[in-house]
Amino acid sequence: MYNVENACTFDTESIHGQGLIWRRGSKFGRHSHCSNDFELGANECPNTDIFRYIQARQYGGRSYRVNKEPLVSEFVSQQIPNLVEEREFKMGRINKIFTSHWLDDKQVAFGTKCNKGAEHTNDLAVYMLPTFDPVMVGEGGHTDWIFDMQWIDDEFIVTGSRDSKLALWRVDEEICDVQKSDITKSMPDYTVRKPEISTMCEKAQKVRALSYNDDRKELAVLSLNAYFHLWDVETFTAKSCRKLFHTRENVCMALSKEKCLFAIGSQSHINLVDPRSPNTLTTIISKYRGQGVRSVTFRDNILTIGTGVGVILFFDINAGKYLESSCSHITNFTVGRGWLLRDETYRDFFMDSTYPSAIYTHQYDKGGTRLFAAGGPLPAGLWGNYAGLWY
């Protein structure tokens, strides 16, 4: 867990006012766009101007009555990538940050390849927040590494593993109540449980990522052999399965509930999958083909893409193109150097090349104005890490 309390917060409240000036200069990190200033003058109203622009783009110039607030939110999502700077964190000697989650406005929890705080990669562990006292350990659901997990509600959680299985676990309210009552213990007790169900995901070879749409009660399952599966969580049975066109390194997935759209990252592409239209598939070509898409997230109409070469990209779903700065250059973040262990393996096999940090995880805070990004070197034989906050 990392504390980001000292990092600044971008003021989104002023977006809704009448006077706002944004200036972009050389101090704003390592962006690929020009350093020209972007200004919204004191006499301009972003609500009106942006509303009219997006309304004209979406409805072909016809007049419609639409709630302006979501459009202003889209405006914020589009402009923030051009206005932020990086604060890189020193993470010591941990190896490769694979996952992260904002706990509140000040703290981010993350998981690493070196398995800090855990012992058995085939088992599930549930902790109490904010103390991180153990509540439950789930055993016997998998025979290989757990790659991903998703909470279905406050009581049930699903895990997906390299053994190609899905497991459904139950975290009883009584377990949490017992843990709360024993909070004064120096060595907290925890419960060991077996899964409610553990079953093979048909046609899957290594379950790589999970994503849950609670509006449709559907669990999306991505397997490394490029199959996209849909499961009914109420019956815990498979509903459908489809082969993806791009078959190499399908390793990450994100959901836009508003659009009912899944984004799947592969070696050179991002596939957009609408589960309501099984015969349609939209493909976005990565700007760094062959280097891998390692993480994806949705924020309003912007799809944020973490690559294997230390670059974060932004794709406007509505416009169908990568986000650009005011000078028409592709907006991107090039992350800091991170830390790399230069051990014997590095000297024997990797010393003659440079290895930027792959962005294995990135998450926006609740307000969407700060982006935590983390990862480490892409080759499996290298040990290192990167973590930074863009704000």
Residues 218-235 pLDDT 10s? 999 999 999 999 999 999
Contacting residues for 77 by C-beta, under 8 A, at least 6 apart = 299, 300, 301, 302, 368
Supply the DSSP symbol for 310: S
Judged by DSSP in three states, 389 sits in strand
Report residue 332: phi and psi, to 5°: -150, 160
pLDDT at 319: 92
* Cα distance between residue 161 and residue 235, in whole Å: 20
The pLDDT score that the predictor gives to residue 29 is 44
- Is the preceding omega at residue 46 within 30 degrees of 0, hence cis? no
Apex 49 CA angle, 46 and 51, nearest 5: 90
d(CA 238, CA 216): 14
Dist. CA 384–CA 131, nearest whole Å = 27
Q: How far apart are CA 334 and CA 72, in angstroms?
A: 27
Beta-ladder partners of 159:
149, 167
Instruction: State residue 174's pLDDT score.
Output: 77
Select the more confidently predicted residue: 29 or 377: 377
Q: Tokens 């019956």, residue?
A: 235
**pLDDT (average), residues 147-156:** 96
- Determine the average pLDDT of the residues in 275-280: 84
Check residue 11 and give its pLDDT: 33
What is the mean pLDDT of the segment spanning 235-249? 94
pTM above 0.75, yes or no: yes
Q: What is the pLDDT of residue 232?
A: 97
In the sheet that holds 124-128, the strands lie side by side as: 124-128, 133-138, 191-193
Tell me: pLDDT of 42 over 60. no
Q: Region 6-33: what's the mean pLDDT?
A: 36
Domain ranges in the chain are 89-122+201-390
- Closest CA relative to residue 30, chosen from 316, 310, 290, 302: 310
What's 344's DSSP letter?
A: H
Q: What confidence tier does 101 reach under pLDDT thresholds 50, 70, 90?
A: very high
Residue 126 has a pLDDT of 94
The answer, yes or no, to whether residue 50 has pLDDT greater than 70, is: no
Instruction: Report the Cα 84 to chain-centroid distance in Å.
Output: 18
Contacts of 141 (CB under 8 A, 6+ apart): 122, 123, 124, 159, 161, 165, 167, 169, 194, 195, 198
For residue 71, the Cα-to-chain-centroid distance in whole angstroms is 23
Residue 77 vs residue 182, higher pLDDT: 77
The confidence score (pLDDT) of residue 179 equals: 60
Q: Does the domain made of 89-122+201-390 have the CATH classification 2.130.10.10?
A: yes
Q: What are the two backbone dihedrals, phi and then psi, of residue 142, each rounded to the nearest 5 degrees?
A: -140, 155
Question: In this predicted structure, which of 112-116, 168-172, 187-191, 289-293 has the lowest mean pLDDT?
Answer: 187-191
